[in-house]
Structure 1
Amino acid sequence: MNYINTLNAQIQSMVKGFVQNVPNLIISLLVLIVTWLLAKSAVRIADRLTKHTQMRENLKQLVETLVRMSIWVFGLLIAATISMPGLTPGSLFAGLGIGALAIGFAFQDIFENFLAGVLIMVRDRMRIGDTIECQSITGKVERITLRESHIRAPSNELTIVPNSVLFKNPVKITTDKPQRRFQIVVSVVSDHDLDLAAETIRKAVEGVPDIDMNHPVAVFAQEFKPSAVDFLVQWWAAARQKDEFTDRIIRQIKRRLDDAEIQIAGAQPTTIEMVKPPEATAQPVPREIERV
């Protein structure tokens, strides 16, 4: 019976303490609502302030995220102090330090991606809109968050990449400069005049619009093959050119080589075989005619 009385007393004490703490809980809830409104308003203000600046888009996102997080951390600390009167800011920060250490070991990958996202946003390279290549990932950067980046592939597929992958591995940014060099290999049958073939290829590339003529078109004999010679063709154009531009280059080279009667290696020349009519053979004379 003593155990039952003790349990009953404990339950009544807990209920009484909860009822007494209801006003504090209501105030804490109001603090959280005010925190949510302040965070929302602060993000809008930060967006308006950074909109008229030359700040990069990823830095704008970083500022908005840090403003939102700072307001929420401050609001949660106030709400926790109000809802638990015995909790002091010093003990709360001490508890947060121990808890952060435990959470850091448990969620190491999440914090690694978080820090990588901050560093990616701060550094000057890899902006939103750039085309990148990282390991087997190729595409356009659409969004950078504190944990992941959104890469849109040329086939319109979206790849969500953890920021730690982009931070720890080499990343090739093909649109870092407005102009870049492109190249293809053209194989020409070695029986032709190589100087004429190189000049024909050079004029073909120069005749395509949107070529950057500040950099001369380069045509180099690169490699001997059993019956052909490979020419390395290099030209400069806008870094954001698509595959259609290379298609125009290839078509123009093929057209000019055909006009110059220069055969591309692997292409069989068109020949017309003259088929001889069957020779007339003497037909045997029927025996009836022979008798007549």
Structure 2
Amino acid sequence: MNYFDTLSKEIEGMAKGFIQLLPSLAIAVLVLVATWIMARVVVRIIGRVTQRANLRTDLQQLTETITKLAVWIVGALIAMTVAIPSFTPAGAFASLGVGALAIGFAFQDIFENFLAGVLIMLREKMNIGDSIKCNGLTGKVERITLRETYVRQFSGELTVMPNSMLFKNPVEILTDQHLRRNEVIVGVSYDTDLDQARAIIESALQTVEAIDAEKGTVVFAQAFGASSIDFLVQWWNDTSIQDLRLTRSQVIFAVKAALDDAGIEIPFPYVTNTFKEPLRMERPKALEQHGAA
């Protein structure tokens, strides 16, 4: 057997088959180019429709992504059918079988984040621009994709969080409602007239313009402290008008000034002395008696 002739015939046959396949490959490439153009056009149309429908930004992104993915899947199947005559979509789905199961286990985290991203985009809460708190991280949502969410912390750092983390764990949406409640603890000395102190604190709260008048304020004597009787002071303010921290600062300034004017003392907290003298080792009495003997 002449191995060289056999190899030459095989190579020649492969070359002829490739040359015969070139027109189909060229058509498949044209189909892919047309798919790319079609995907861009369809996404633009879908984007305009979703904008007119006043959908949320994350839902617009989800709709555009799914539309683009569907167009590319159809275009890729057509290109494969043209390039490989023996290829059929039904045969491709049938051949997945165990392979799809293995791929599913290998990319379990990716699929989990993908599904979590879809569900996060579909639900009404936690939109782009919301301030959230999750797993000790607090920041503003800048972008939501199918795999991850970009959260800009208030200190400036950008954190990329897997969607599964936001879907599985409790998420506090700080901007769900603009009207929010805040509180401080105010301590007065034990010899203070509590009715007078409460009235002074309530009057001081009325001087802070950012406090919502309809919701009102709450001033309760809460506990007997170590060196003071503590009042719980609560109020509501619109965070879209003024930052919650600024309102809290104004409340503290107003209450402190009002109590000072009334001569009511805000005592220092009672702190015990935690420093102790070094322990001295004492000799057992038996040894002392033995030494005396």
- Give the alignment's TM-score, normalised by structure 2: 0.85
CA distance in structure 1 between the aligned counterparts of 2:134 and 2:53, rounded to whole angstroms: 30
Q: Could you tell me whether the CA contact under 8 Å between 2:227 and 2:268 is conserved in 1?
A: no
After TM superposition, list the pairs within 5 Å mapping 1:259-270 onto structure 2: 259-266=261-268
CA distance in structure 1 between the aligned counterparts of 2:13 and 2:263, rounded to whole angstroms: 102
Kindly state the Cα deviation for residue 210 of structure 1 after the two structures are TM-superposed. Answer: 2.2
- Amino acid across the alignment from 1:41: V
Partner of 1:16: 16
Kindly state the Cα deviation for residue 68 of structure 1 after the two structures are TM-superposed. Answer: 0.8
Give yes or no for the alignment of 1:111 onto 2:111.
yes
Kindly state the Cα deviation for residue 71 of structure 1 after the two structures are TM-superposed. Answer: 0.6
Partner of 2:196: 196
Partner of 1:208: 208
Q: Rate the CA distance shift 1:261–1:90 in 2: closer, same or farther, 3 A.
A: same
Partner of 1:169: 169
Q: Rate the CA distance shift 1:99–1:35 in 2: closer, same or farther, 3 A.
A: farther
- Amino acid across the alignment from 2:51: K
- Amino acid across the alignment from 2:92: L
- Identical counterparts, % of pairs: 51
Give yes or no for the alignment of 1:46 onto 2:42.
no
Kindly state the Cα deviation for residue 18 of structure 1 after the two structures are TM-superposed. Answer: 1.4
After TM superposition, list the pairs within 5 Å mapping 1:107-256 onto structure 2: 107-240=107-240, 241-256=243-258
SS in 1 for 2:36: helix
CA distance in structure 1 between the aligned counterparts of 2:15 and 2:201, rounded to whole angstroms: 90
CA distance in structure 2 between the aligned counterparts of 1:6 and 1:265, rounded to whole angstroms: 102
SS in 2 for 1:210: coil
Q: Could you tell me whether the CA contact under 8 Å between 2:201 and 2:255 is conserved in 1?
A: yes
- Amino acid across the alignment from 2:158: L
Q: Rate the CA distance shift 1:75–1:265 in 2: closer, same or farther, 3 A.
A: farther
Partner of 1:30: 30
Give yes or no for the alignment of 1:64 onto 2:80.
no
CA distance in structure 1 between the aligned counterparts of 2:14 and 2:200, rounded to whole angstroms: 93
Kindly state the Cα deviation for residue 109 of structure 1 after the two structures are TM-superposed. Answer: 0.4
Which structure is larger by alpha-carbon Rg, 1 or 2?
A: 1
CA distance in structure 1 between the aligned counterparts of 2:63 and 2:34, rounded to whole angstroms: 21
Q: Could you tell me whether the CA contact under 8 Å between 1:174 and 1:239 is conserved in 2?
A: no
CA distance in structure 2 between the aligned counterparts of 1:59 and 1:129, rounded to whole angstroms: 14
- Amino acid across the alignment from 1:7: L
Q: Could you tell me whether the CA contact under 8 Å between 1:219 and 1:232 is conserved in 2?
A: yes
SS in 1 for 2:129: coil
Q: Could you tell which deviates more after superposition, 92-101 or 147-156?
A: 92-101
Structure 2, unpaired ranges of 5+: 270-293
Kindly state the Cα deviation for residue 38 of structure 1 after the two structures are TM-superposed. Answer: 1.1
Q: Could you tell me whether the CA contact under 8 Å between 2:31 and 2:75 is conserved in 1?
A: yes
Aligned residue-pair number: 268
Kindly state the Cα deviation for residue 102 of structure 1 after the two structures are TM-superposed. Answer: 2.5
- Give the alignment's TM-score, normalised by structure 1: 0.85
Kindly state the Cα deviation for residue 117 of structure 1 after the two structures are TM-superposed. Answer: 0.6
SS in 2 for 1:124: coil
Kindly state the Cα deviation for residue 17 of structure 1 after the two structures are TM-superposed. Answer: 1.4
CA distance in structure 1 between the aligned counterparts of 2:29 and 2:9, rounded to whole angstroms: 29
- Amino acid across the alignment from 1:223: A
CA distance in structure 2 between the aligned counterparts of 1:9 and 1:252, rounded to whole angstroms: 97
Partner of 2:283: none
Q: Could you tell me whether the CA contact under 8 Å between 2:211 and 2:247 is conserved in 1?
A: no
Q: Rate the CA distance shift 1:6–1:195 in 2: closer, same or farther, 3 A.
A: farther
Structure 1, unpaired ranges of 5+: 268-292
Kindly state the Cα deviation for residue 10 of structure 1 after the two structures are TM-superposed. Answer: 2.1
Q: Could you tell which deviates more after superposition, 47-56 or 92-101?
A: 92-101
Q: Deviations over 1:186-208 (max 9, x none)?
A: 22222322222222222222211
SS in 1 for 2:176: coil
SS in 2 for 1:28: helix
Kindly state the Cα deviation for residue 229 of structure 1 after the two structures are TM-superposed. Answer: 1.7
